Every structure is written in C-alpha cells, then in structure tokens.
Amino acid sequence: MATTPDVTVAGLVRLCRADEIGEGRSRGFDPHETGEDTIFVLRSGGVLRGWRNACPHVDGAPMAWRRDAYLNADGTRIVCHAHGAEFLPDSGTCVQGPCIGKRLTAVPIVIDRCGDLWVMEK
Amino acid sequence: MKIVGLDSLIFGVDDVPGAARFLVDYGLTPVDVSEAGGRFEAMDGTSLIITRDDDPRLPPPPAPGCRLRKTMMGVADSAALQAVAAELRRDREVRALPDGSIESVDDSNFVIGFRVTVRRPFVLPGEMFNAPGGVVFRPVNSLGVPPPGTAIRPRSLSHVVYFVPDVLKAEAFYVNRLGFRCTDRFTATGPFLQPAGSLDHHTHFLIGAPPQMHGVEHFTFHFGGPSEMIANGCRFVEKGYQAFWGPGRHILGSNWFWYFNSPFACHIEMDADMDLHDASWTPREATLSADTSQTFLLKMRKKWTPGPGIHENGDYA
C-alpha cells in the first residue's frame, strides 16, 4: 500500500517526477513511512494538487479502493470508496455523499526545476 | 413466507473492468462476464452482478450516489414466492419478470426482488480445530495450513447493511411484511434481521442514518473459516486493495470480519463463522461502541520474521 519516498532533503520529501501523474490520474504516497499512503496527488485541468488521504466523514478513513485509485472512472471527481463521498478535484469540497459541504485537507506540494514533485516533510 | 437469504446483489458501476477484477481478486467466479458486466458467483451460486451504471435496464437507486440497484432474495419454493407477492400487492406494485422472479420496492426505497432460490447445496468441510478436550477434531495427518497457492473462494452471499433514513419504518417492513426476526440490536442504531428460512444471525442489518447517507454500508460473503478469511484478506491487501477495518471478530453474530473499500461506493467485507440462531433465541441489545462491536481487533503488518539483518517494521530487531 505504501509508496516509499526515495530522497529526503531540507524538510522536503521527494515523491516522484511530476510528469508521472497524467491528467485525470492520481497516486498515493507514504512520505513519513507509516506503512500506508497518507497523502495523494492528482492532476486535474493540468494542475497537480495534494490532499490528505483522509475522508472527513469518518476521521482519517483511507479513501482509495485500490492502490492509487482515488478518482472516479473518468477522473472528474475524487471519491472516498468507503461510502461513496465525491469531492471536486480543484477545491476538495464534498458535493455528493455523507459529508456534503466538508472539504479534504490540502497538502502543499512543490515542483522543482528538474520536474520533481516534493511534499513538506510535516 | 420462507425467505432463505440473499441470492444476489446488483450494482451499477462506472468502471466495469476494474470492478470485475476486484471481484475476481476477492475470490468470486466470473460467469457470463463481458465488458458490459456480468455475474460473479460464490460456491453455492449466490452472486454479485455488475453492469454499467448508465444501463437503462437497471432499476433506480434508492438515493443519489448509491450504486446498489437491486437486492434479490431467495425463497424456498413457488408457494413462498406467491405468498411474498400477495403480501406486497396489498399496498404496492409488484412486477412479474420474465425470469420468473418478482420485483418491488421496500419502505426505504430499495428495489427488492424475489425468486425461488438459486442456492446449490454443496458439501465442503469448514475449518476444523484440534482443541484438547474437544469432540470434533481435524483428522490425524491432515494439515491446518493448506499448501501455498490453494484457492480460497467465498462460499455464500452472507448479508447486506443498509443506511436507512427511518430505521423504525424500515425494520417494520421486514418484520411485519416479510417475516424477518430481530436477533440482536444496537440501541438507537438498528436491528440485525434474520429471515424465516435461515439460521444465520443476520442477512440484513439496518442502520439509521441521515438522508445524504441513504444507501449501503457494506455487504459480504461467508468464507470457510477464520484462516481462510485472513489468508484471503492478506492476499487482497498484497494485491493493492485498501483495508478499512479488521481483521477482527464481532460480538453480535460472532463473525470474523475484515472490511475493505470497494468500487461500489460502500465497503465489502469478508466474514466467517457467524452464529446460527433459531426461534428460541432471545435478542440482545447493546449500545454501539468499539467495545461492543468487536471482541478483538487485529492490525495487519507486512510479513516479517525475527533475526539478524531483518528490521523492516520489526519490534525486536
């Protein structure tokens, strides 16, 4: 389940190359080596965004149904595959399901000049 | 009105190939499956059926966002089927379908079907134990751990759990109209329900929930014992599927459990060794909490062994 980071520098953890996550795709990461993916990154409208892998409906509930599977089939909604909550990929706002109006927790990510994707270590 | 249990659950999904792979990895056997969907059977012929969520032949969901489109229940014989139809026709439409089944709707807006059960009798020993002082033992020279790679298959569709907006109304429908019996209850949460033709602790569990949760919490199939269930769950995790709760053992019903996220907008469980009850059973009642919902809860870790040079998440290295 975990995707172990391969480099840690200056309070940042490298996740992957940014171009490894295509449009309408998502990928989970375990930057703090907990044994489970604690964040995920998705690309929507050309923009990469990071979110905590924690549905607001059940505190901390993991959201994917399979490794890296955080989106619906056409990549237009983030889905919590526990009870079907659907979130807008740009704002993280729940628009369908048990936690309507609540939001996912954003995770700041950085893309460096070489095209590598990083997350703050904490 | 002898309803014997669940025969099939029908879901509409947006990713048929992904859901099909999920069900095969869970252990079900694909039958008549194409890119448009198909049926995935347990050993006794009970099944999960999937199709594209925009298939116009699907009944409507009970509420937006719910992927369950129909719950098909099995009855003992054609007389029981006629009795169910006659009862439901007193106050609602009952459609007779070409396959001989009937279809209607419950008081929580779930589409329900009934047919003479497709369950195929089969004989296959469950997990056995060598307990000192016991009466039934695993035979001498038979092994408790099956060889690696041994197929593990779900044996039977076990139960479904609905989120319902009015739990008292929902319970009254199944008890007063369809002859179910409450076996146990979580106070202010809902009842475990058993149909008249089954001894299983429950085939339905109803949970009162706000309207935006109206739908399904989980469904599950029975496995042959705790070792099968845990081994199958470990294989499932190793294939990349997301565990949610378990493995552990419930108190009400006693069944071993392991819950996973699914592509069906609800959890899917693996279960084993559920209690059986008959009409002499007195229902219990408990307030839902971590202490009342499980006698123990285990936490999975990657395979590991103690020894020099082995330290990945090891407690003693």
ipTM, two decimals, is 0.91
Q: Six-digit token pair at B257?
A: 């459990």
Looking at residue B314, its pLDDT comes to 56
Q: B242–A65: do the CB atoms touch at under 8 Å?
A: yes
Reduced to 3 states (helix: H, G, I; strand: E, B; else coil), residue A7 is coil
Looking at residue B136, its pLDDT comes to 87
**Sign of the four-CA dihedral B144, B150, B156, B162:** positive
How confident is the model over B232-283, as pLDDT tens digits?
Answer: 999 999 999 999 999 999 999 999 999 999 999 999 999 999 999 999 999 9
List all residues 6 or more positions away from B237 whose beta carbon is below 8 Å from its beta carbon.
A1, B243, B300
pLDDT bracket for residue A1 (50, 70, 90) = very low
Q: 């106070």: which residue's tokens?
A: B187
Q: Is the pLDDT of residue A20 over 60?
A: yes
pLDDT bracket for residue A7 (50, 70, 90) = low
pLDDT bracket for residue B307 (50, 70, 90) = confident
Does residue B30 contact residue B42 with C-beta atoms inside 8 Å? Answer: no
Spell out which residues of chain A touch residue B24, defining contact as CB-CB under 8 Å.
none
In angstroms, the CA B120 to CA B221 distance is 15
Where is pLDDT greater, at B305 or B151? B151
3-state helix, strand, coil in chain A (%, to 5): 0, 40, 55
Percent of chain B past pLDDT 90, that is, above it, reads 92
List all residues 6 or more positions away from A93 whose beta carbon is below 8 Å from its beta carbon.
A87, A101, A102, A103
Arithmetic mean of pLDDT, B171-197:
98
What pTM was estimated for this model as a whole? 0.94
In angstroms, the CA B46 to CA B26 distance is 15
Ramachandran sector of residue B125 (left: φ over 0; alpha: ψ -120 to 50; beta: rest) = beta
In angstroms, the CA B31 to CA B229 distance is 23
Q: B242–A1: do the CB atoms touch at under 8 Å?
A: yes
Closest residue on chain A to B265 (Cα): A84
Q: Is the pLDDT of residue B61 over 50?
A: yes
CA distance B226 to chain A (A): 23
pLDDT bracket for residue B114 (50, 70, 90) = very high
CA distance A72 to chain B (A): 7
Arithmetic mean of pLDDT, A17-45:
94
Does residue B166 contact residue B174 with C-beta atoms inside 8 Å? Answer: no
In angstroms, the CA B311 to CA A108 distance is 32
| B313 vs A1, A35, A72: nearest CB | A35
Among residues A33, A75, A25, A31, the alpha carbon closest in space to that of A52 is found at A31
Question: Phi and psi (nearest 5°) for B225?
Answer: 165, 175
How far lies A64's CA from each of A81, B2, B303, in Å? 6, 39, 22
> Average model confidence (pLDDT) for chain A?
91
| B120 contacts chain A (CB < 8 A) | no
In angstroms, the CA B271 to CA B267 distance is 13
CA distance A113 to chain B (A): 32
> Average model confidence (pLDDT) for chain B?
95
Closest residue on chain A to B19 (Cα): A65
| B262 vs A1, A81, A97: nearest CB | A81
